[in-house]
């Protein structure tokens, strides 16, 4: 259908104009770091005769090359023919542009949210930030997702879907519950980023980086280890599987453990299983089995809780109340979903 229309337009335009691309929205293809061959929404600039990583379908999100500086606007990444498989520096820009797109698409389809900040603006992504900078972050001031070039363990080469989605989800939290970044609220802040990172990764259905309940998997020396494991967070050697008084004294990344574990239990249930080729074995605090209600439903409940009930001071006990209230709103207080939320929290010792 689309091909037929394009052919007809080309015939009408005649040979003189046939080689000149239409201004504005275009669809290219790119080869991105860690994500393989992906479609790209771009913009053709008639003034320069080049395609730009400017996504007209998602709030004009733009991707810049920081040229290894940590200051300045960087350079809008462009290409001559809308085939972004040059390799080298272009690969990270392609991946960053694509990761923003899959993040946007997940939040719009799953939660009706338009963009990181929820206002329909695309903001930007920045790659090649600093010199061998081994991290990634979302900057609220510039509304820019930013990736360094660090290539050694533990993050592996950046960007990747779950890392980018984790950081951009911090922007979602900052504009909704605004959970503070310390104590138990800090753990819930980190868990919110981890669980939406997993949800985005599954939703992207990228064959080069399939969805899983691991964060930063296959990073480092290539031995299959991940930064974090949602089925049993203690697998990373530092995160906690269950809530206890004083867990808020840990760094938020590790205090997130029980909430990540809650999300896994609520989605998939307890016990050993293999999901899309990845093996999990999720225990519960009291040894009682938990039956999952699916990741889509679990994420809907968490998003409702995050946007309607959680605040900067929400702790684990209040997160339980918030998610129960969200489940009651969405499915009813007598629903199986509501009961599953209570069972999953009991599984991580929040009662
Ligand atoms: Ca090209
Ligand atoms: Ca992952």
Residue 170 lies in a domain: no
Residue 317 lies in a domain: yes
CA of 160 to the centre of ligand 2 (A): 9
**Do 210 and 334 share a domain, yes or no?**
yes
**Do 230 and 315 share a domain, yes or no?**
yes
Residue 320 lies in a domain: yes
User: What pLDDT does residue 159 have?
Assistant: 86
Protein residues with C-beta less than 5 angstroms from the ion ligand 1: 79, 81, 83
Contacts of 274 by beta carbon, 8 Å cutoff, 6+ apart: 280
The DSSP letter of residue 180 is -
Contacts of 292 by beta carbon, 8 Å cutoff, 6+ apart: 265, 266, 267, 268, 269, 298, 340
CATH number at residue 235: 1.10.390.10
**Do 154 and 204 share a domain, yes or no?**
no
Ligand at shortest distance from the CA of 86:
1
**Do 153 and 238 share a domain, yes or no?**
no
CA of 195 to the centre of ligand 2 (A): 10
pLDDT by residue for the chain (351 residues), tens only, comes to 333 333 333 334 444 444 678 889 999 999 998 899 999 999 999 999 999 999 999 999 999 999 999 999 899 999 999 999 999 899 999 999 999 999 999 999 999 999 999 999 999 999 999 988 888 899 999 999 999 887 654 455 678 999 999 999 999 999 999 999 999 999 999 999 999 999 999 999 999 999 999 998 865 555 668 889 999 999 999 999 999 999 999 999 999 999 999 999 999 999 999 999 999 999 999 999 999 999 999 999 999 999 999 999 999 999 999 999 999 999 999 999 999 999 999 999 999
Alpha-carbon torsion, ordered 275, 281, 282, 286, to 10 deg:
150
CA of 84 to the centre of ligand 1 (A): 5
CA of 187 to the centre of ligand 2 (A): 19
User: What pLDDT does residue 158 have?
Assistant: 77
Ligand at shortest distance from the CA of 202:
2
CATH number at residue 82: 3.10.170.10
| Residue 204, CA distances (Å) to 143, 145, 322, 351 in order | 22, 18, 28, 34
Q: Tell me which residue of 215, 210, 213 sits closest to 34, measured CA to CA.
A: 210
Ligand at shortest distance from the CA of 275:
2
**Do 241 and 135 share a domain, yes or no?**
no
Q: Which domain holds residue 307?
A: 187-347
Per the listing, tokens 């530092």 go with 238
Protein residues with C-beta less than 5 angstroms from the ion ligand 2: 162, 201, 212, 214, 217
Contacts of 206 by beta carbon, 8 Å cutoff, 6+ apart: 35, 36, 38, 102, 161
CA of 342 to the centre of ligand 2 (A): 26
Ligand at shortest distance from the CA of 53:
1
User: What pLDDT does residue 296 have?
Assistant: 98
User: What pLDDT does residue 132 have?
Assistant: 84
**Do 154 and 191 share a domain, yes or no?**
no
| Residue 250, CA distances (Å) to 129, 206, 221, 243 in order | 29, 34, 27, 12
CA of 164 to the centre of ligand 1 (A): 24
CA of 10 to the centre of ligand 2 (A): 43
The beta-carbon contacts of 151-156 under 8 Å, at least 24 apart in sequence, are: 153/219, 153/220, 153/221, 154/216, 154/219, 154/220, 154/227, 155/216, 155/219, 155/220, 155/227, 156/34, 156/216, 156/218, 156/219, 156/220
**Do 195 and 341 share a domain, yes or no?**
yes
233, 252 contact by CB (below 8 A): no
Ligand at shortest distance from the CA of 260:
2
Domain count, the chain: 2
CA of 33 to the centre of ligand 1 (A): 16
């Amino acid at each position: 259908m689309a091909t037929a229309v394009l052919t007809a337009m080309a015939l009408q335009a005649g040979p003189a104009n046939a080689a000149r691309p239409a201004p504005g929205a275009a669809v290219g293809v790119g080869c991105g770091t860690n994500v393989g061959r992906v479609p790209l929404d771009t913009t053709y600039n008639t003034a320069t005769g080049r395609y730009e990583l400017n996504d007209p379908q998602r709030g004009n999100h733009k991707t810049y090359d920081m040229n290894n500086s940590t200051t300045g606007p960087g350079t809008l990444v462009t290409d001559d023919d809308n085939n972004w498989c040059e390799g080298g520096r272009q690969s990270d820009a392609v991946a960053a542009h694509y990761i923003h797109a899959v993040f946007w698409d997940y939040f719009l389809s799953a939660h009706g949210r338009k963009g990181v900040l929820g206002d329909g603006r695309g903001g930007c992504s920045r790659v090649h930030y600093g010199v061998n900078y081994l991290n990634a972050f979302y900057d609220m001031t510039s509304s820019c997702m930013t990736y360094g070039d660090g290539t050694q363990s533990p993050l592996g080469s950046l960007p990747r879907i779950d890392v980018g989605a984790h950081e951009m989800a911090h922007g979602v939290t900052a504009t909704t519950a605004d959970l503070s970044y310390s104590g138990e609220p800090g753990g819930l802040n980190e868990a919110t980023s981890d669980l939406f990172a997993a949800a985005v990764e599954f939703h992207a259905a990228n064959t080069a980086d399939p969805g899983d309940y691991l964060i930063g998997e296959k990073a480092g020396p290539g031995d299959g280890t991940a930064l974090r494991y949602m089925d049993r967070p203690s697998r990373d050697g530092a995160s906690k599987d269950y809530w206890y008084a004083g867990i808020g004294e840990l760094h938020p990344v590790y205090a997130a453990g029980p909430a990540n574990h809650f999300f896994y239990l609520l989605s998939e249930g307890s016990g050993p299983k293999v999901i899309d080729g990845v093996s999990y074995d999720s225990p519960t605090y009291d040894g009682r089995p938990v039956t999952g209600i699916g990741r889509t439903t679990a994420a809907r409940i968490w998003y409702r809780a995050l946007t309607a009930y959680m605040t900067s001071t929400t702790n684990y006990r209040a997160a339980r109340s918030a998610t129960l209230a969200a489940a009651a709103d969405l499915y009813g207080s007598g629903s199986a979903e509501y009961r599953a939320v209570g069972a999953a929290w009991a599984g991580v010792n929040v009662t």
